[in-house]
Chain A
Amino acid sequence: MSTARQPGEASRLRAPLFFAIMTALIVIEGLTSGWNSALGIVNMGLLSAIMALGVNMQWGYAGLFNAGAMGFLALGGIAPVLISMPPTPGAFAAGGFAIMAAFAVAIIAVLAAIWLYRNLAGRARALAVAGVLIAGFFLYRAIFDPAVSAIEAINPSAAGNLGGLGLPTLVSWPVGALLAAGAAWLVGKTALGLRSDYLAIATLGIAEILVAVLKNEQWLDRGVLNVNGIPRPWPVPYEIDLQNSAEFVAKAQAWGIDPQTASTLTVKFAFLALFVVVILALIWLTEMALKSPWGRMMRAIRDNEISAAAMGKNVTRRHLQIFVLGSAVIGLAGAMMISLDGQMTPTSYNPLRYTFLILVMVIVGGSGNNWGSILGGVLIWYVWVKAGDWGPDIMSVLASPIPDGAFHDHMIRSAPHMRMLVMGVILLAVLRFSPRGLLPEK
């Protein structure tokens, strides 16, 4: 979000040029390290681009700093587990309904407390609210705890969780977006309308908590035991099916590729096609929204909240709206990422990778520009992956004049941390020297 905006400053060739450079980098990667690794980078880069699109809606359109993208991503990732995994036999009868009842008790207690808070006054209010909440908490635990033990006792080595509904994976993607949107509404409702940094701090907190929930609630997603074998979305095939299909093997041999490589490439291409469809749909929607009166209003609010409020715009409501929408996009990306990985590993959620790196993508790409987010997403992901590869090489060159010994070894060992430094320096340099990013907002 820069303060000075000069329209029409950037050349029209800028965007195609940068996308061409990005494509060239990927092609070089494909030629040097193999297409499998290049496609892997592209797929994950495109997923990062979707996350960046969501963060861009918040930061770029509205100037809201979401420091908890990881949380919404993780919450979206629970959707494929709950929607598309087959149900664990007997789990629902053992404890599923009791867990729902416990949640119902919790919600009723909170609603009752809110009602009492609004309709009573003085000491009676404090006592009544506290009483309802405490009683609600113990009732909730009394129903919840035995249900959880019952579910976790079912076949603990392979399941021990509720399982899913067995629906198609594609259904779970919008569900992931809905889950994230719900959490975002709760956070936004409390933290928006106050100082701008409070949203950042509140989202930082909710992200830690959501990931803690995924790590510890075994009945939900097996916690640190991970859920494996999450079904792939239609129409992505499985490698083993392709290799067993005579037709596919014949085709691969006709192309002169061995069937195993061909099958992994086909799978990656199928995912790529799906991701591109989703990205194009999102870009179309967001660009239409930005061109509409709504988009102009959002930019007006971002550039001068006070004058927008004076024109009768409800700034806090609009902020809440865009915050929920952006988080929904992040949740969608979270669900897609779990489908791509085929497994849910709650320990892999790291705030530097999934919150702050996404912010770097948005800012480097160009805050407020959707194409910029796509470019930033793929490009920064490429740099992140490659910095991991190049770090040791650069470090061994740097360390070569230093005599062998403890310090030399220490330098070599520290090489993997290079990427943090690279990202920090890139972010600081872009913010300082080119705050509008590679593809400035029009």
Chain B
Amino acid sequence: MELVNALVAITNYVIIPATAYGAQLALGALGVTLIYSILRFSNFAHGDTMAFGTGVVILVTWGFQSLGISFGPLPTALLALPFGILATAALMLGTDKVVYQYYRKVRAAPVVMVMVSVGVMFVMNALTRFLIGVDQINFDDGARFVINARQWREMTGLAEPLTLRSTQVITVVTAIITVAILFWFLNRTRTGKSMRAFSDNEDLALLSGIDPNKVVAVTWIITGALATIAGTLYGLDKSFKAFTYFQLLLPIFASAIVGGIGNPVGAIAGGFVISFSEVGLTYAWKKVATYLIPNWEPDGLVQLLSTDYKYAVSFTILILVLIFKPTGLFKGKIV
């Protein structure tokens, strides 16, 4: 019984939150990795792109709410999601036209592109602030729980509670659907194949008649969509705050690099590696330890790392990967 309680506690406090967070990171890292493999730079504006997309989604959600439209037990934000994707994709295409296109033409060094993306980051940051402000916003209006603590106790009779929030289920389901569509697109459609060809060998792809402008445009649209979905899911699950999204940049980059930057499968794996390490190391294991080791009450919280240092986990994993396996777990682009 004690063992079952311990497992329930681990599921409740580590596995479920880390899975949801990992799915959010994976979607973010997919966006970073796509930009990297097609346009060949690390996009520092990605966190703020996520914030912008989520901001649009929140505004449309409020519009729907004032019109009295709702999505039943699901959050209204899911209805607003397509509008957010459209706005963000349009913004991405506009940014590419006004800013990035020139640097592609002059074949600027990657590090110059990174610097340019910092400029874009400033502008997007300002746009998001104009749009929605800097405050923390909760915009989840759906049913809160799939399983709440009381139902769980009635179902199983266990002392240890387990809750499954609906946003966590929505996150995982949406992420699976998104990733399935993305992989279908990359592997089965003509445009997707030309994108992969472009990523593998740009010159060869150009020689075989692939239109680079189309590839780049499609990449930005997909990135905008992924960023908006990732941002909205994160915002539903936790809450929206523009600055938090900027800070997500580090775990997202870490996920992409850990998995092997430029490799979509790696980005997903990396997202879960980062999320499970982060949640696992910052969880207070006291309860689990008390269940597992009879007649022992630990003095402290048995927390390996305070939650304030959760970014240190991504950073440490990032550094370890850079030292020992710079191409990442799955073989990414050559460093």
Q: Interface of A with B (CB < 8 Å)? A: 1, 3, 63, 65, 67, 137, 145, 190-191, 194-198, 200-202, 204-206, 208-209, 212-213, 215-216, 351-352, 356, 359-360, 363, 413-414, 417-418, 420-421, 423-425, 427-428, 431-432
Contact = CB atoms under 8 A, between A and B. Distances in A.
Contacts of A216: 306, 308-309
A205 B318 contact: yes
Nearest to B256: A201
B92 to A, nearest CB: 15
B121 A356 contact: yes
Interface residues of B, number: 50
A308 to B, nearest CB: 15
A200 B127 CA distance: 24
Nearest to A2: B112
Given A195-B110, A200-B42, 9 more contacts: A65-B115, A194-B326, A195-B335, A197-B110, A204-B250, A212-B309, A360-B122, A414-B130, A421-B122
Nearest to A138: B304
Contact of A208 (B119, B126, B315): B315
Nearest to A199: B111
B137 interface: no
Interface of B: 41-42, 44, 99, 102, 106, 108-112, 114-116, 118-127, 129-130, 133-134, 246-247, 249-250, 253-254, 257, 300, 304, 306, 308-309, 311-312, 314-315, 318-319, 322-323, 326, 335
A246 to B, nearest CB: 50
A208 B44 contact: no
Given A65-B114, A200-B114, A421-B126, A205 B254 contact: yes
A352 B312 contact: no
A65 B315 contact: no
A65 B111 CA distance: 7
Contact of B129 (A195, A360, A417): A417
Given A194-B335, A202-B319, A363-B115, A420 B42 contact: no
Given A420-B126, A424-B126, A204 B253 contact: yes
B130 A417 contact: yes
Contacts, number: 133
Nearest to B246: A351
Nearest to B249: A204
B322 A202 contact: yes
Contact of A209 (B127, B254, B309, B322): B309
Given A202-B322, A206-B315, A428-B99, A196 B120 contact: no
A357 to B, nearest CB: 9
Nearest to B127: A421
A337 B168 CA distance: 44
A89 to B, nearest CB: 28
Given A145-B300, A197-B42, A414-B130, A1 B112 contact: yes
Contacts of A215: 308
B253 to A, nearest CB: 5
12 contacts: A197-B41, A198-B322, A198-B326, A201-B318, A212-B309, A216-B306, A356-B118, A421-B130, A424-B124, A424-B125, A427-B119, A432-B99
A67 B304 CA distance: 28
Contacts of B134: 417
Q: Which of A67, A145, A201, A206 has most chain B Cβ within 10 Å?
A: A201
Nearest to A213: B309
A191 B122 contact: no
Given A190-B323, A200-B42, A431-B115, A3 B109 contact: yes
